[in-house]
Amino acid sequence: MQKHDLAIIGAGPVGMALALALKDSGLDIVLLDARARGAARHDPRVLALSHGTRLTLERLGIWAQLPVTAIETIHISQQGGLGRTVLSADEYGQPALGYVVAAGALAAALDDALQAAAIPVRDHATVIGIAAGADDAIVSLADGSHLSSRLAACAEGAVAGDDHSVLVEHDYAQHAVISVATPAASHGGRAWERFTPQGPLAVLPCGQDCAIVHTAEPAAADALMALDDGAYLARLQSHFGDRLRFASVGPRTRFPLKLRYRPNPVGQRTVWLGNAAQTLHPVAGQGYNLALRDVWACAQVLLRAGGDPGAAETLATYARQRKLDRNGTIRFTDGLVRLFSNAVAPLQHIRGAGLLALDLLPPARHFVAKRMMFGARAWP
């Protein structure tokens, strides 16, 4: 049986980032991925990266290789109600509030760095179970083989046989319809988050185009997917308003939206990261940013501890350090969806007043902006 110090399950942007953060640790690391090598390079999604995420990707040595689009301002509003606020990078002395990148481009840069660091990736390796013991975790694969690792890091989705009873789940009864639209005029590095009774609509600058995240109830999402491009473009424009005109729209995809998280991201000889630890609503674009903060903190705890990476006290330290940021970000995104995705008249007035207060009160606006850039702990 092969023996390793750290087995990372999932070679997506989370698992690869963890391996790179630990490349000089002296640990024997292997990544296990159910897909073919490099499959993540073809991920069609678009990711919103915070300023804090940029700092981490710079530390990992891949930022310069990423074709990113800067978000210089964020316009936040609600449909059918008063109140709006604008966040600007100029107020914080930063080149941008955040960035937009194709998930496939991020995966390619991480994969290239893994190859340069000679960190092995075992592809077509579907994990069907993890049996944690006192000294190691036995990882079982679909091909009948097994390996031993002092720490198993689950970094992508669920593992067969995992205990789902420990998960907290909430179905938002919403689907995200994803597309790329070409604006009639330059987006000017501006992003829009528009809250509607059907769910939030995000328009993100992506190259010369705009990435669209159009949230709707499942039946409404069915109808949106059934429209031809011209009819959908008209529907999108009507839903968004006239702050930016769209000239054309590309193919659409969709996925259901749920909140799913582990209150405790560690167990015996095991740590859960990324979507294996928490899956968030895409509102405010916090998913990968929270995951990368988890990854960096986990790597730093392992580096400081030395010795056995799966020791119970080491994992407990990681969980304790990440509790505030994880819980705060989960509550923040969940609260936004619950507060804004409805047409209740009193709440509409409260929302408008809140957006107006953010616009008029710089300390409140700075509080929101800094946490969007750095997380609940406003690090570094």
Please give the mean pLDDT across all residues of the chain.
88
**Residues 333-370 pLDDT 10s:** 888 788 766 555 555 545 455 555 545 455 555 666 66
- What pLDDT shows up at residue 213? 94
Are the C-beta atoms of 14 and 292 separated by less than 8 Å? yes
What is the percentage of the chain residues whose pLDDT exceeds 90?
70
Over residues 3-37, the pLDDT tens digits come to 999 999 999 999 999 999 999 999 999 999 999 99
- Range name among 95-109, 232-246, 323-337 with the lowest pLDDT average: 323-337
Mean pLDDT of 83-111: 88
Provide the whole-model pTM.
Answer: 0.90
Give the pLDDT confidence of 216-225 residue by residue, as tens digits.
999 999 999 9
User: What is the mean predicted confidence (pLDDT) over 108-122?
Assistant: 96
Query: 10 Å Cβ neighbour count for 105?
Result: 17
Alpha-carbon separation of residue 166 from 25, 46, 143, 326 (angstroms): 31, 30, 28, 16
The mean pLDDT of 105-111, rounded to a whole number, is: 97
pLDDT attached to residue 378? 43
- List 271's β-bridge partners, or say none: 153, 266
Handedness of CA 70, 75, 76, 80 (dihedral sign): negative
Q: Are 130 and 76 in contact (CB under 8 A)?
A: no
Give the whole-number percent of the chain exceeding pLDDT 70. 87
Q: How much is the average pLDDT of 126-152?
A: 96
Rounded to the nearest 10 degrees, the angle between the axes of helix 362-374 and helix 51-59 is 30
Highest mean pLDDT among 44-58, 67-81, 296-310: 296-310
> pLDDT of 244-264, one tens digit each?
999 999 999 999 999 999 999
Give the lowest-confidence range in 72-86, 172-186, 201-215: 72-86
| From 71-75, 139-143, 155-159, the region with the lowest mean pLDDT | 155-159
Pairwise CA distance, residues 50 & 378, whole Å: 12
